[in-house]
Structures are given as C-alpha cells and as structure tokens.
Amino acid sequence: MVSCRSFEDVKELIVFEDVSYSYAPGRYAIEHINLSIEKGEVVAILGENGAGKTTLIKHINGLLKPQHGSVIVSGMNTKDTTVATLARYVGLVFQNPDHQLFAETVEKELMFALINFNFQKEEIPRRVEWALKEFGLIEYKDRPPFLLSGGERKRLALASVLCYDPQIVILDEPTTGQDYRQKLHLASLIKKLNSEGKTVVVVTHDIEFAADFIPRAVIMSKGRIIADGKSEELLTNRELLMSASLLPPQLVELSWDLALNPPTIHFDEVVSSVKKLLGGKKS
Amino acid sequence: MKAFSFEYKRGTTIIHKLDPRSKFIYTILFTALTVYFVNPLILFLVFLSSVPMVIIAGIGKRWLRSIRGSLFFIAFIFIFNLVGNFWTTGSIADAIIMSISMSLRFIALISIFSAFFLTTSPEDLTQSMVQLKIPYDYALTFNMAMRFVPTLSREAQIIMDAQRSRGLELEKGNIFQRVKNYIPVLIPLIISSFRRAELVADAMESRAFGANKRRTSLYVLTMDRRDLLFISCSLAAFLAILSLKIMLGIQ
C-alpha cells in the first residue's frame, strides 16, 4: 500500500532519486536527476529551452512516471499514486493559459478544480470569492475567459489552481508576457504563499526574476542538473552560466565590468560598491 | 490519434520518387475496389497490393503503427457488423463472413492510404493538385490541414495534462460521463485552433498571399518512365481483379 504520511512530519517534500525519462528511445529528456526540496522552500529551476525543465516538473504531480529511479512527493511514490491524488497536493500551473481555460465564465473556471476535488458546497463560493479578489478578477466574474487579455488569462489560470490551496505550487514560466508590475505582483504572491508554509517551484528562463526574488536555484542543461545552490552564488558564476547557455543577470554583468569582488545579484550591494568606487576617486 | 497523422518522412526509394499523381491513380483505383467488392478474399488481395509498395519504400514500421493504431476501430467495425448482420439475416456464418469483409475493407483502406501519405511529401502533393488544375486555395487548405494534424495531437496531449493537473479524471464514470469528461479538453483545443488559424492567416497575408491571381512554381512535377510502368502495373492489377467479377461472378 501507499505510505502517506501527513504533511507535518515530512521534511523533504519532493525527492528525486536517480530519475531518468525519455520520450523517444536513445535520447533522454532528463537523466540521472537527484534533487531534494524541503517543505517551505522556494526554488527556481533554470535552463535553456529543451534542458528538461518541464519534463522534470511533470514528474512531481505524476503526469509522467519515472522510467528509471523514483520520485517521492510528501512520502508518496508517484508510481503508485494517481495524478488526481497528487494534484490535490501539487498545484501545477501550465505555461500557456489557453491550454486550460474552457469554462463559460471566469467564476465557473475557478470552480472546476474545486468540484473535481469534491470540496464542500459551502466552501466553494468562499474560495472562488477569495481567488477573484486576490487576482483582481472580480469585475470579470461573469465574462468568458477567452475574452480576457493575455495577462488576465495568465492570472486566471494561476488563480484556478491556487484556489484549491495546494501545499506545493509549481509555476511553469509564470513571467512570460507579463509586464514589470505583474512580475512584482507575482513575486509578492510567491512570498505570501511561502509565508503560509507552502513550497514553491518556479520554472523559468527569466534569470532576472530568479535573481531578484528566488533564493535557491537549480540549473539544468541537456537533461541534467549541473548546479544546485544559492542563487547569489550560482548566478554570479561565469563558467556555470556559460555552460548552461544562460545570460547573466544585468547586475552581475555590471559587477563583472566594474570588477567588483565578489560579484553580486543584490542591487544595494552594487550601489554601495559603486559609491565606494566614486568616493575613492574623489578623495 | 498519432496513428492517423500519416507523418511523412523524407526517403529516397523509387516509391518516394514517383510522381504523386501516379500514386494517386493507384490509390483511387484500389479504393474503388474496396468499395466495390464484399468478398473477403478479394478484399485481402486488394490489401496485399499495397504490401510491395510498403516493402520497397521501407516504411514497414510506421505502416504497422498505422494499422495497429486502427485496431480499436477494426474491433468496433467487426462487432457492430456481427451483431447487425446476425440480427437481419439470422445466420451466424453469414454474419461472421460479413464482419470479416468489413474489417478487411477498413484495413485495406488504411494500408493503401498509409502507403500513399507516408511516401508523398505534402509539398509535392500540393503541387500535383495544382497541376491537376485544382485551385491553389483548396490545395493549400488540404496541405495545411494535413500539416496541422500532428501539431493538434501534441496540443491535445498538453491540454489533457493541464486539466488532469486540476483534478480532471478522464477515465472516471460510465460511458456518458466519460464523453463529458472530454469537454474541458475539446474546448481549449478548438479555441486554440481558431486562434492559430487566425494567426496563420495574418502571417500569410502579411507575406502577400493571394496578391497575384496567377502563381508560378519553382518546381514542376514531371512523369517519367517509372511512373508509366507503375501506372500500367496498377491498372493491370485493377483490371485483373475486376475481371474476377465478370468471369467468376464474385461479388
């Protein structure tokens, strides 16, 4: 039988043990993945197109089952657990909202997952209300989702997953097509989810977003994890970023150009270093 | 879904190099035979006619996949005919023969069309339709429809994944419930197809599609001796099978 411990006593919430998966024989989409994410962490998964990021996260809610190795989520082996069971704990928001919006109205779209997961009748309107407010969609309540703008559809897709309060939230490229204000909103949302004890995994190639808001980075290249650690350490490592075909964040590039030692992803540190440099010249 | 995509891959065999029009003549002639006959032996012969093409073209694997992919439909056709014919004729032997014929007819059609589409590039097909005086708009529409089948099937998979991530269980409930389960998959699929169609139309118009009534072609297809040989063989086989009807009175 599936051993299912409660969320409180599992520290390592997501564990990949030597996981490999291939869509076509002879070529692995992900290979020998070892990864452990603890409860309450916020992690960015970075890498170029085709690095295997999306394949990796599809293993967390069981859409893909590992062909080799195992994935344990909250003590459940994903091989023995249905997607519907895992999805209750793991909210996965897909990159393109057009791949999931289908209901007649925004309100009904939000109710879809709640009904699938058998939420109680009294509970549903309360959660829908919360999501409408949280994501600034209240005025669109009765509109068809297809008539919303691109950014609004993206927010609705996010809301339609977060409204059922999953313990693990996975966002696939949440910043594409969002303006800077929406990115800030997203960052504060991630912070808020995290303060509620949720675990957040963000798949992105928006390296600026990861550098600014996400403390842990996992860098993938050609189906493998090539680095895993603090964002401020990994995103200032020139060789590492080169080998993953990632552009460094602008602040890091500036620190390199100014020969700051050590280079940094923090705005404040760059500013104080620059001030010191300027001050040094004057005196 | 994948089975019916008939995805073309480049090849260098004689079959690949034939003019699409020659292969089209074969396809039409033998499709007519499958519709004309109900005798299982004849239908089997029609099916066999496509096998040499498949072997010479070296597309055995994908051809088998097409047929394997249609097994569900074949089973459906078989059972449906078995029950239906037993109901009307009352003879189990007749019903079984009829069911075999109908299944064979379907297999023969799948095989013939696989042999055609797996060895004919979409561009050549469009060009041959144009040279057959079919208006370019229609030829292109057909070409693009074929081109987007794999795209659509990939997209359907992504949508299914997205909805399952929100707790949708496609396999849950009785048959009516199961059909209903697919609504959250079909609606995004249809809507995104419309969105894409509009995008493609805009992209084509911005590259001056339809600006000139008379199009010229960079490549023109020509028939050579191989084509004449292929057409003659097809025609001979077609007449031979047809003559069985006249000489032996096989239905």
Q: Which of A174-178, A206-210, B8-12, B165-169 has the lowest mean pLDDT?
A: B8-12
SS3 readout for B154-195: HHHHHHHHHHHCCCCCCCCCCHHHHHHHCHHHHHHHHHHHHH
Q: Using the beta-carbon criterion (under 8 Å), do A101 and B155 form an inter-chain contact?
A: no
Q: H or E segment at B93?
A: helix B92-117
The pLDDT of residue B1 is 38
Q: How are strands ordered across the β-sheet holding A30-38?
A: A30-38, A12-21, A68-73, A76-77
Q: Which of A197-211, B163-177, B224-238 has the lowest mean pLDDT?
A: B163-177
3-class DSSP state of A279 = helix
The pLDDT of residue A4 is 46
Dihedral sign of CA atoms B192, B197, B201, B203 in order: positive
Which has more confidence, B219 or A69?
A69
- Does the domain formed by A7-248 have CATH 3.40.50.300? yes
Q: Using the beta-carbon criterion (under 8 Å), do B191 and A98 form an inter-chain contact?
A: yes
With 0-12 CB in 10 A as exposed, 13-18 as middle and 19+ as buried, what is B25? middle
Residues of A within 8 A of B184 (CB-CB) are 100, 102, 112
3-class DSSP state of A66 = coil
Complex confidence, ipTM: 0.86
Q: What's the gap in Å between the CA of B184 and the closest CA on chain A?
A: 6
Check pLDDT > 70 for residue B192. yes
Cα(A131)–Cα(B194) distance, integer angstroms? 29
Residues of B within 8 A of A90 (CB-CB) are 165
Question: Residue A196's CB: how many other CB atoms inside 10 A?
Answer: 10
Task: Give CA angle at B101 (B97, B102), nearest 5°.
Answer: 120
Across B120-138, average pLDDT: 88
Taking chain A (283 residues) in runs of 10, the rounded mean pLDDT of each run is: 49 93 89 95 94 95 95 94 94 93 95 95 95 93 92 92 95 89 91 95 93 95 95 92 92 88 87 84 51
The whole-model pTM stands at 0.78
Cα(A224)–Cα(A53) distance, integer angstroms? 9
Cα(B33)–Cα(B49) distance, integer angstroms? 11
Cα(B189)–Cα(A98) distance, integer angstroms? 9
CB B141 within 8 A of CB B204: no
The pLDDT of residue A239 is 92
Restricting to B residues 193-222, those with a Cβ less than 8 Å away from any Cβ of A are: 195
With 0-12 CB in 10 A as exposed, 13-18 as middle and 19+ as buried, what is A24? exposed
Residue count of chain B: 251
Check pLDDT > 70 for residue B210. yes
Q: Using the beta-carbon criterion (under 8 Å), do B166 and A84 form an inter-chain contact?
A: no
Q: To 10 degrees, the CA torsion angle through B135, B141, B146, B150? A: 160
Which residues does residue B200 pair with via DSSP β-bridges, in sequence order? none
The pLDDT of residue B10 is 81
β-pair type (A168-172, A199-204): parallel
Q: What's the gap in Å between the CA of A84 and the closest CA on chain B?
A: 5
β-pair type (A199-204, A42-46): parallel
The pLDDT of residue A2 is 43
- From the list A10, A98, A47, the residue with the least C-alpha distance to A217 is A47
The pLDDT of residue A9 is 57
What values do phi and psi take at A179, rounded to 5? -80, 175
The pLDDT of residue B214 is 77
- From the list A157, A152, A208, the residue with the least C-alpha distance to A184 is A208
- For chain B, give the mean pLDDT: 88
> Given B159, B168, B195, which is nearest A116 (Cβ)?
B168
Which of the four pLDDT bands, split at 50, 70 and 90, describes residue B70?
confident
Task: Give CA angle at A196 (A171, A210), nearest 5°.
Answer: 40
| Percent share of chain B, pLDDT over 70 | 96
The pLDDT of residue B251 is 66
Q: What share of chain A is helix, strand, coil (3-state, %, to 5)?
A: 45, 20, 35
Q: Using the beta-carbon criterion (under 8 Å), do B165 and A84 form an inter-chain contact?
A: no
The pLDDT of residue A153 is 92
